[in-house]
Chain A
Amino acid sequence: MIQVRELSKFYGKKAVVEKVSVNIQRGKITSFIGPNGAGKSTLLSMVSRLLDADTGEVLVDKDDVRKMKSDDFSKRVSILKQSNFMNVRLTVRELVSFGRFPHSKGRLNAEDMRIIDQSIDYMELADIQHSFLDELSGGQRQRAFISMVIAQDTEYILLDEPLNNLDMKHSVQIMKILRRLVDELGKTVVIVLHDINFASVYSDRIVALKNGRVVKDGPTEDIINSDSLKEIYDMDIPIKQMSNCRICVYFNS
């Protein structure tokens, strides 16, 4: 379990994240949702040590992340930021191999090779494993990055808006993969999502942020209702039940 306690981040005097406390449970998909500027990405960056918190602490399985060694930390928690222009020309396989870096420091042994092969197969990238990343489509590239994270083989996988710039088909593909990571491999996934319906359909728990504070935190079915959404987004959003998915119809509200 990742425990976030009283975490704050200030830019100047403005608090971007203010006294946030959240527990992230193992073996589940937890989505961070909320309006722009709510502090979702900042929170994720602090949990993953990319950003130093001003106050508060983060515990990963009871260990304070600030006291963990960086290669120890990178064997337990991985983070994929939605940067990525990535103008480095690597092949898919090379990128996935770098997922083993925390374990091997670049000298890959037979075990590393086996895990790399597995990760590539898992993401169905075997056909394009020798293609350069800059020759791939956005969806393929995103799969390559997730494959790298699988090779990194961490208990916790943090993703900052992994669906950015992806079309519908690829977005669904990525979310299904994340679901499988949790259901089949027992990983814990934390994602920042913009699309409320992806959060509704795929996540086990939802943490809603607004103005740097947690406004809702609970199982998905407790959050996806018109009252809670009103509180989070200031919008009247009707919910429609379709087979076993709850869909938020926000387009004309």
Chain B
Amino acid sequence: MKKRYLIAGLLVLSFLSLFVGASSITPADLLNPGSEELEIFLISRLPRLIAILLAGAGMSITGLIMQQLSRNKFVSPTTAGTLDATRLGILVSMLLFANATTLEKMAISFAFALAGTLLFMQILERIKFKDAIFIPLVGLMFGNILSSLTTFFAYRADVIQNISSWLQGDFSMIMKGRYELLYISIPVLIIAYLYANRFTVAGMGEDFSKNLGLNYRWVVNFGLVLVALITTTVVLTVGMIPFLGLIIPNIVSILKGDNLQKTLPHTALLGAIFLLLCDILGRVLIYPYEISISLMVGVIGSGIFLYLLFRGKAYA
């Protein structure tokens, strides 16, 4: 899996993505200033592409960091309650502050995402039985508890429908003015890259980190802050995208290993490509209608996840 092939693939798919959709736009239309096509391109197509790339790269890196820090290949925002905690945070911000600005919503759901993930890591530390499959199961249960809290309060406040829209990741609503929050993930991804070596060392355990003079606690907590930040921006703008943070890092790990400084760019690229591919398929399959991205990723992703599980090699 060479980086330049990934980049080439990403460019081709990005180009496709820009010119696939309910209204047909050709590259030639873009040269015509003031045309309706150019307007659609700038307001809808381009933001959509940027959102997909950022969300795809972001969620994959999030999964990668979580797997490294928890030292378990099956831990990801989906399987550690992070997504559910974020959603609970969004509900709380909606209920408590009816007119919350995006940034306020972001701050509150970020706090919930971080608290939820930290709580999960605490549970992890207390579990004596560290089986590779058992831990994500605990995470799923934990997520479901948070999720039922969300449903209960949403039901009481009569905002169930509102909340379920957060459940479904969807790029069709992305347009200019609605996705810019995702740009926060760019500096976060850069910081993650700068910390790649520390995350790799932390992934080898507390004793190992201490031997190399690394402040283990600090690195783990810092990593979880990055995870919570990216997850919050993605859930607030796009919605939940399941499995992405689980399968992409695992595929890259099998092929390229776990040296984060080396694999982080691959993981980001592959995540973006995978999400883009799912999005294009979702738009083409029942054209001119759309299949939501969370359904597409869920179906294809769970297939790949099962394949990874059944590969037979005791890998995780």
Residues of A within 8 A of B (CB): 48-50, 70-75, 78-81, 83, 86-91, 94, 98-99, 101-102, 105-106, 132, 152
**B side interface size, CB within 8 A:** 26
Q: Tell me the complex Cα distance, A75–B214, Å.
A: 12
Number of A-B contacts (CB under 8 A): 71
Q: Tell me the complex Cα distance, A101–B215, Å.
A: 12
Q: Which residues of A contact B73 (CB under 8 A)?
A: 87
Cross-chain contact of B211 among A48, A90, A132 (Cβ < 8 A): A48
Cross-chain contact of A74 among B68, B212, B259 (Cβ < 8 A): B212
Q: Say how far B249's CB is from chain A's closest CB, in angstroms.
A: 11
Q: Tell me the complex Cα distance, A236–B96, Å.
A: 76
Q: Which residues of A contact B211 (CB under 8 A)?
A: 48, 50, 74, 78-80, 152
Q: Tell me the complex Cα distance, A74–B211, Å.
A: 6
21 contacts between A and B (CB under 8 A): A48-B210, A50-B211, A70-B213, A70-B214, A72-B213, A73-B213, A87-B73, A89-B253, A89-B258, A94-B262, A98-B200, A98-B201, A98-B204, A98-B212, A101-B197, A101-B201, A101-B213, A101-B214, A106-B196, A106-B197, A106-B261
Q: Which residues of B contact A106 (CB under 8 A)?
A: 196-198, 261
Q: Tell me the complex Cα distance, A49–B196, Å.
A: 25
Q: Say how far B119's CB is from chain A's closest CB, in angstroms.
A: 24
Q: Mark B198-220, 1 if CB is under 8 A from A, else 0.
A: 10110111011011111100000
Q: Are A70 and B215 in contact (CB under 8 A)?
A: yes
Q: Mark B282-303, 1 if CB is under 8 A from A, else 0.
A: 0000000000000000000000
Q: Which residues of B contact A75 (CB under 8 A)?
A: 213
Q: Are A94 and B201 in contact (CB under 8 A)?
A: no
Q: Which residues of A contact B214 (CB under 8 A)?
A: 70, 101
- Of chain B, the residue at the smallest CB distance from A91 is B257
Top 10 A-B pairs ranked by shortest CB distance? A74-B213, A106-B197, A71-B213, A89-B257, A70-B213, A89-B258, A102-B213, A101-B212, A88-B258, A94-B259
Cross-chain contact of B212 among A87, A102, A132 (Cβ < 8 A): A102
